[in-house]
Structure formats: structure tokens, C-alpha cells
């Protein structure tokens, strides 16, 4: 069985770059998937929040006062 050091000694410059390229592509793939997942999660979070509307605070206070009086 070859040790790690002996394995790399037998590699040519081209093979070493090919191995590194595969590692870089795997990392790039993970990054792209993470970006896409984060984007989807952000959109879902924005859709989950209720829409902000103009609220008449005085009318709400008046309705509480009416309920309390009744």
C-alpha cells in the first residue's frame, strides 16, 4: 500500500492539477448549492411575514374602550 507521500511523488504535474481541479469543482458546487438554498430560504422568509398595512390606532383603542364599557 502506498503512503500519502509516495502517492504524490508518483503523480505528474498534470495529475496533481487534475486532482486539485476536481476538489475545487466540488467546493464550487457546494457553494453554488448553498447560495441557491439561501436565496430560496430568504424568499420564503419574506413571504412568511405579514403585509404591513396602515392601521388606525385610535379606532382600535376606541373598540377596546367599548368592550370594557360593555
What are the 10-residue block averages of pLDDT along the chain, 70 residues in total? 58 63 83 97 89 85 87
Contacts of 11 (CB under 8 A, 6+ apart): 19
Q: Which pTM does this prediction carry?
A: 0.45
Helix spans in 1-70 (H): 4-10, 13-48, 57-69
Give the per-residue pLDDT at 31.
Answer: 95
Query: Residues with Cβ < 8 Å from 8, sequence gap 6 or more?
Result: 16
* Cα–Cα distance, 38 to 62 (Å, whole number): 44
For residue 1, what pLDDT is reported? Answer: 47
Whether the CB-CB separation of 47 and 40 falls below 8 Å is answered with: no
Structural domains of the chain, count: 1
Structural domain containing residue 29: 4-69
Amino acid at each position: 500500500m502506498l503512503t500519502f507521500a509516495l502517492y504524490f511523488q508518483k503523480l505528474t504535474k498534470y495529475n496533481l492539477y487534475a486532482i486539485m481541479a476536481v476538489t475545487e469543482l466540488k467546493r464550487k458546487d457546494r457553494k453554488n448549492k448553498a447560495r441557491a438554498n439561501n436565496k430560496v430560504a430568504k424568499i420564503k422568509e419574506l413571504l412568511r411575514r405579514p403585509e404591513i398595512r396602515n392601521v388606525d390606532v385610535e379606532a382600535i383603542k376606541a373598540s377596546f374602550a367599548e368592550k370594557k364599557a360593555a
